[in-house]
Structure 1
Amino acid sequence: MFYHFFYFPLGTEDQNRSRPWVTWGLLAAMVGVHLYLRFVSPESVPSWVLRTDAPYLSQALTACFVHGNWFHLITNLLFLWTFGPALEDRVGALAFLGFYLAGGLVAMGCQVEAIQFFRPEAPPIGVLGASGSVAAVLGLFWVRCSFLRIRVGHATMALIQGVTKAGITPIPGWLLCLGWVLTQVIYTLITESHGSGGTAYWAHLGGLVFGLLLGFVTPLYRQGRREKVLWRARRFLVQGKFHRSLDQTESYCHRYGLDGDALRIQARSLQLLGMAGEAESAYAKAFEVSMREGDWDEALAIEQECSRMKPPPAVDVRLLFALAEELEAEGEVMDALRLFERAGNTPGMLMVSVKAFERAGDLACFSLGDLDRAASLYLEAATQLETADEPVVSSDERIRTLRRRSVECRRRLEKATTNMLPAT
């Protein structure tokens, strides 16, 4: 029976919080170099490739972007596209770039040393390909993100029997990494036993070991174990095992301290278990913790989730105001406006609410040009001061200013509307 089996990764289940610009740049660089050397300047390939008899650092680096054929290139593109974004999101763009390039240099060095040690009589050859760098990424992924599931495309073809099967199956990241490692070890042993082979398996293993070691000697291993608990809680939540999800988040908070993401998962579990009061408290605490840690993206996600609840959980109006200011500074005008309005409608702190409505009015007027909305927001701020239970210092002047702004917005709106009317 003759058959062929192929598998290839198609991404992870992770939803990155930032765009993987470095990963995309590396992918583009590999494609660009391949096209350049294949169609524009094929005669310059030797100057890009690392030679075992004269290994130069510069060529060790450039060789990481050179590929022998399209299959070689596409395979490395798929693996980097699958494993790179999750790592880049967790270690940072610059750190990921440095690690990727260092992994490639280490892998190239391992291949050269292995050839000189095991086959010193072999003629000089060229070493090329991003496989060593990708193997380093795989090793670090195994340490930091092994809890993620990988979407794996697979195809089985037995053409003589007329059998062809294909599909996509999610498998644990650690299992795919383990399978890849075993494959590399087997092929390395076969290659060395026959004294031949056109694949740099020692570069693969060298890059892999580099990634593993770097993961274990840095905080990345502990960070991975910590995040693994959260992913287990998420999966229990999706599977409808709310009590088990709740147990995981409680264990996480007890072991590592309060965390916005963990508290949000906990709040969802409590809500689905019908424990509305506890869920509201968990959401409010999650928002507070995320704001205290300066995790604006997480805080915004929690606030958006809270705003969909009826009624939304009560949160500290000062934190809402602070988040709105951060979003305004980042240019997220619509989210900032919505949060200023929510802060204004949150009872408890009169002057913060008044200031929030005023800031919302400024955004509506000057950033969005929504004069009708701005007029209403300025008027609401003035009304809150007028109806305050206790007198406020200099409130009369502030009320006049806010009302004047509201009137000015109305006048500008009426003038703009009049100018748009057709002449009779």
Structure 2
Amino acid sequence: MDSTRPHGISRGYYERMFLIPTGTDRDNGHRAIVVPLLLLSCVAVFLLTRGGDRLESYEFSVRYGISYRYFEWWQPITSQFLHGGWFHLIMNCFFLLAFGVVLEARLGQLGFLALYLAGGCVAGFAQMYIGYWMDPSHAGVPAIGASGSVSALMGAVFALHPRANIRGYSIPQFAPAMVSVKWMIAFAVAVDIIRTMRGGSGIATLAHLGGLAFGFGIGMALLGSGILKRNDFDVLFIFKQWRRRRELREAIDAVGGGHAGGPIAARVASGGDFEETTGQRALRATIASAHRERDYTLAAKLYVELTASLPDATLPADIQLDVANELARSARNADAARAYGRFLERFRTHPAADDARLMLATIFMRRLGDRAAAAATLAGFGKRELDRDRAAMLAALRSECGGAPA
């Protein structure tokens, strides 16, 4: 959203962004309806105003843009569809497309449209009232553009999909790129705050900040009230996960499990076997709790800590496999190999044993460069038949191992 002046229109809000967005990794092939209609509306209005030329008329922009001094009831809506130039229009359209599709899929058509229009209205009011409070001399300067509405979409995406990544093209290389939504929003907020403090940018930064806050607040309200079903990707889950991690760490520390000198480091011999200490049992319990919360990162971290004092420790099958997968995903290859190895030793007939064996051999061969260990792991398949995909992977690994026999 730009603040217009009698001598012309200020250009662009996103000229310093390093990515032209085209979508997110959470779109899941959704075919949007409202998003393209809004895009067409913005383009149509732009063309009807002769490519923004009429906005060079102060009277026209005052009548349909939003300002404190010349406010009319229709301006919060009409201002959202006016743009001061092709660059202003195109960049807002890119951001509307990128953030709109995933939100329309989550909120539905009417819910998304309501968020878009309400976010634009709130952004306009933020620019009008807060801007007047900060600098009354600009009370008659109208603001136009869809970036307040788009900012509301960005805020809502951050609440509902904080781990999403934005796809697009990097600037100035114009090559395919991806950036985390949280970093994009952090950059946008930082730029707007700086411009607000410096003043004189000709950009309605308060509308952007107001839209972001509104969209984030609406997203949180929808999740907190239960109107939107929560999942493992929204910001409330991340907060819950962070709080649970802190509680689990406090519980471990309370029993002395968080340092080498505590009970976790001790093992008590009994008849040649080792009995688990209180600290080790507490650590197992916290791993199980983290797994129930689907916090596989924490579960994997705690499992490594457990095996530091209890090398042969094995968890229940599903937990052991998820922990091994998480260690492999995070490239902790030696720990992952040990976790898969313990799984195969303990659960040889588990339905996922073949996959675990292939994964273990892959880690040995391609990540750790241990040809002998990979060959020994593959020998566990013997000559039994596998399905086509597993057989192809087995053949490729055996070939890499130098044709090691089954």
TM-score (norm 2): 0.51
Backbone CA RMSD of aligned residues = 4.2
Give the Cα separation in 2 of the matches to 1:47 and 1:139.
29
Q: What's the CA shift for 1:88?
A: 1.2
Give the Cα separation in 2 of the matches to 1:73 and 1:32.
11
Q: Is residue 104–residue 132 contact of structure 1 (8 Å, CA) maintained in 2?
A: yes
1:187 aligns with one of 179, 191, 195: 195
State the SS of the aligned residue for 2:171.
strand
Give the Cα separation in 1 of the matches to 2:105 and 2:220.
18
Q: Is residue 48–residue 63 contact of structure 1 (8 Å, CA) maintained in 2?
A: yes
Report the counterpart of residue 31 of structure 1 in structure 2: 43
Give the Cα separation in 2 of the matches to 1:85 and 1:252.
33
Give the Cα separation in 1 of the matches to 2:91 and 2:26.
21
Identity of aligned residues (%): 30
Q: What's the CA shift for 1:59?
A: 1.4
Q: Is residue 143–residue 220 contact of structure 1 (8 Å, CA) maintained in 2?
A: no
TM-score (norm 1): 0.49
Runs (4 or more) in structure 1 with deviation over 4 Å come to 43-46, 220-225, 228-231, 250-253, 273-277
Q: Is residue 160–residue 234 contact of structure 2 (8 Å, CA) maintained in 1?
A: no
Amino acid at match of 1:147: R
Q: Is residue 143–residue 224 contact of structure 1 (8 Å, CA) maintained in 2?
A: no
Deviations 1:296-341 (A, max 9, x none): xxxxxxxxxxxxx979xxxxxxxxxxxxxxxxxxxxxxxxxxxxxx
Report the counterpart of residue 24 of structure 2 in structure 1: 12
State the SS of the aligned residue for 2:178.
strand
Instruction: List aligned pairs for 1:21-420, cutoff 5 A.
Output: 21-38=33-50, 42=54, 45-122=61-138, 124-156=140-172, 165-191=173-199, 196-219=200-223, 226-227=232-233, 254-255=292-293, 278=351
Report the counterpart of residue 336 of structure 2 in structure 1: none
Q: What's the CA shift for 1:137?
A: 0.6
Q: What's the CA shift for 1:56?
A: 2.1
Amino acid at match of 1:58: W
Q: What's the CA shift for 1:252?
A: 9.4
Q: What's the CA shift for 1:52?
A: 2.3
Deviations 1:27-76 (A, max 9, x none): 11111111111259937555322232122231111100101111111111
Q: Is residue 152–residue 215 contact of structure 2 (8 Å, CA) maintained in 1?
A: yes
Give the Cα separation in 1 of the matches to 2:131 and 2:83.
20
5+ unaligned residues in a row in structure 1: which ranges?
A: 157-164, 232-249, 257-265, 280-308, 312-424
Give the Cα separation in 1 of the matches to 2:168 and 2:29.
22
Q: Is residue 67–residue 128 contact of structure 1 (8 Å, CA) maintained in 2?
A: yes
Change (3 A) 1:167 1:53: same
Q: What's the CA shift for 1:153?
A: 2.1
Q: What's the CA shift for 1:17?
A: 5.2
State the SS of the aligned residue for 1:151.
strand
Q: What's the CA shift for 1:184?
A: 1.1
Give the Cα separation in 1 of the matches to 2:51 and 2:150.
25
Report the counterpart of residue 325 of structure 1 in structure 2: none
Deviations 1:108-155 (A, max 9, x none): 001110232122234612111111111111111111112111124222
Give the Cα separation in 2 of the matches to 1:129 and 1:104.
9
Change (3 A) 1:224 1:81: farther
Change (3 A) 1:276 1:77: farther
5+ unaligned residues in a row in structure 2: which ranges?
A: 1-14, 239-287, 295-321, 326-339, 353-385, 389-406
